[in-house]
Homo-oligomer: A and B are copies of this chain.
Amino acid sequence: LNHNKYFPLDEISLLSYIESVPKLAERLGGNKSHWKLREVGDGNLNYVFIVIGPAGSFVVKQALPYVRCVGESWPLSLDRSYYEANALKEHGLLSPEHVPEVYHFDYQMALTVMHYLEPPHIILRKGLLAGTVYPLLAEHMSDYMAKTLFNTSLVAIPTTIHKSRVAKFSGNVSLCRLTEQVIFSEPYMVAPNNHWTSPHLDEDAKAIRLDDQLKLEIAGLKAKFCESSQALIHGDLHTGSIMVTATSTQVIDPEFAFCGPMGFDVGAFLGNLLLAFFSQDGHASENDREDYKRWILQTVADSWNLFQKKFLALWETTWKDPGDAYPATIYNTANVRELVQKRYISQLFEDTLGFGAAKMIRRIVGIAHVEDLESITDKDVRAVCERRALNVAKLLLKERRNFSSIEQVLSTIQSIK
């Protein structure tokens, strides 16, 4: 398999492409003169087209052989498209309510056709910016994370399946390297990609580059990211990879998927919720975001608590036919089962806080920032929000082993403010 026949589609050539794939043409209905098509990619990496016909619709996502927001000077493997399509399918089988269905995948063209998440679906990050409450978010995301992570871990599956999945997704190395670079390395060193609200955070950024304890902790997390194949993770589970309505929560964009540590996904989600939390003061008129801030923190707490509850509930049902990690003949009493589960969850909590914190830090002093904070136009205000987020993140990264509940984390956050 190669990409010799790859070419980037434009609005004209995409219509011909669809025409040439009967199942796609049929799904739209009519013929190409009836199909409406719009490029909506707002991400950093790929093209995304919405295509609508008389009978149906879909989204076409095509990878580019470079980082879209940087240009051809930063090449990036087209293979990521293959891993994204595979992750969508595998996670989709495990959590179909929260993953768009894949209709078609073309390896050569690095192209995936999937279910169109129609309006009012919007990117969660935009909803958080607007101050919209999503009452089911914690319920849905905890469901998605528990099902996808538990069921691709050795708690649930045999070593044979695990190792073949590890082998397959080891091929997604370009994307893993990108994460290593922008999350685990650049924020802790002088790098041309780095930027921050300047001069306000100049000293803060410098302090990070001089903080040996922080460098020690980020090394441990990086090693876990590079070496631990705990589960098939999404790999980029920030609030820009989630589309929501009041009743629906959909996870898109798993192009960074590989077998890695679960806490990297859970931490990405919670860390980005915290960035949204810290940005609220920059978007408030008077104190009109206080309720909303409380809702975000409640969602952080609920997401973690529901996640661990559901993870353990799945584990409980699995004792009759477990994966290879915990044979039921060894873990054969309520007491020893509780012991191993507690240890597992507490390690996962520690990882979640660590990775979540690393994700927050990189969004403030690294290459790619978040709209939650970037859209605060008053730099003085923005810097105050960012510094608070940074200080909490540094604390979590260094002290993560000393937190034993998410409520404790939230009290710390509130006491720092």
Contact = CB atoms under 8 A, between A and B. Distances in A.
A219 to B, nearest CB: 5
A163 interface: yes
A88 B126 CA distance: 55
A71 interface: no
Give the number of copies in the complex. Answer: 2
Interface stretch (A22-30, A170-178, A362-370): A170-178
Contacts of A316: none
Contact of A325 (B223, B329, B332): B223
Nearest to A224: B228
Contact of A226 (B154, B220, B227, B336): B154
Interface residues of A, number: 46
Interface stretch (A41-49, A182-190, A248-256): A182-190
Given A189-B330, A227-B228, A340 B215 contact: yes
B177 A173 contact: no
Interface in A281-339: 324-327, 329-333, 335-336, 339
A288 B330 CA distance: 42
A118 interface: no
Interface of A: 154, 159-160, 162-164, 166-168, 170-171, 173, 176-177, 180, 185, 188-190, 212-213, 215-216, 219-220, 222-223, 226-230, 324-327, 329-333, 335-336, 339-340, 343
Given A167-B167, A185-B330, A226 B180 contact: no
A34 B173 CA distance: 52
